[in-house]
Structure 1
């Protein structure tokens, strides 16, 4: 049975897979990630779409990380503003309603709330090989 999860009062409803609907995975630095949707793509055999809600406390950030070599990532800012740097490119700030795309194997050096006073959130949508459970691998914090 598929249940519904509502994201941060935005009115956006996504189907959540009960097996994935566990408590958010907290990361030191004021960020947490919680899977909200997973579905095999029937017209693309061997691929699955997974959505993850990432929440940042004011001034919060997640450690540098790398995404799976099988995962295309689409990120959409739901609230606030997010500072992001991928693959050594320029640091950019994305505001609510803006989005970006990351290639498979992307190295995400900066992923943080651009505000020290307001929370922020984004929806990350992964399209990856079915069964790939290591969509994000965090680096050791220094």
Structure 2
């Protein structure tokens, strides 16, 4: 891996996991940057992939994502309860996915189980300079 990409991945992880802490809220899930790179055949766009681990009963809290971000979320483990504004609440199981349009308001993002972990892979197609990827709602 290129040294610059390693730094970018570390910063990406900090931006996402630190977003809740910036608003004085305790961390409720953990994230790990998996990949970040420019989409070479789409000038100005990048692909950023993040693994989100929800401990039993954990929640990400309501939030929005970067204004340019199109998101594809795929459940790897457990069950994830999710709701994007204008859509019904739904529980997604392993192998299921949902998408979020740019600027979507993510109202619910949580582990549906109080006893088992859940894990998803979130793939962002985003403008190169659009950050942070996740902004918690102000309380």
Matching residue of 1:134: 132
TM-score w.r.t. the length of structure 2 is 0.84
Report deviation, 1:2. Answer: 4.6
Matching residue of 1:8: none
SS of 1:21's equivalent in the other structure is helix
Q: Which of 74, 77, 82 is matched with 1:76 structurally?
A: 74
Quick one: higher RCO (CA 8 Å, sep 6+), 1 or 2?
A: 2
Q: Which of 8, 15, 21 is matched with 2:10 structurally?
A: 21
| Off by >3 Å, runs of 4+ in structure 1 | 21-24
State the distance in 2 between where 1:104 and 1:85 align: 15
TM-score w.r.t. the length of structure 1 is 0.82
State the distance in 2 between where 1:2 and 1:123 align: 23
Cα shift readout 1:16-63 (whole Å, capped 9, x = no counterpart): x31113676265363122222101001100000000111100010011
- The gaps in structure 1 that reach 5 residues or longer are 4-16
Matching residue of 1:65: 63
Q: As a proportion of its length, which structure holds more strand?
A: 1
Aligned-pair Cα RMSD in Å: 1.9
Cα shift readout 1:113-135 (whole Å, capped 9, x = no counterpart): 00010000101000010011222
Over 3 Å counting, the alpha-carbon distance change for 1:29 and 1:117 in structure 2 is farther
Matching residue of 1:94: 92
Cα shift readout 1:62-106 (whole Å, capped 9, x = no counterpart): 110011220100000010000000013100000011111110001
Matching residue of 1:85: 83
Q: As a proportion of its length, which structure holds more helix?
A: 2
State the distance in 2 between where 1:74 and 1:134 align: 17
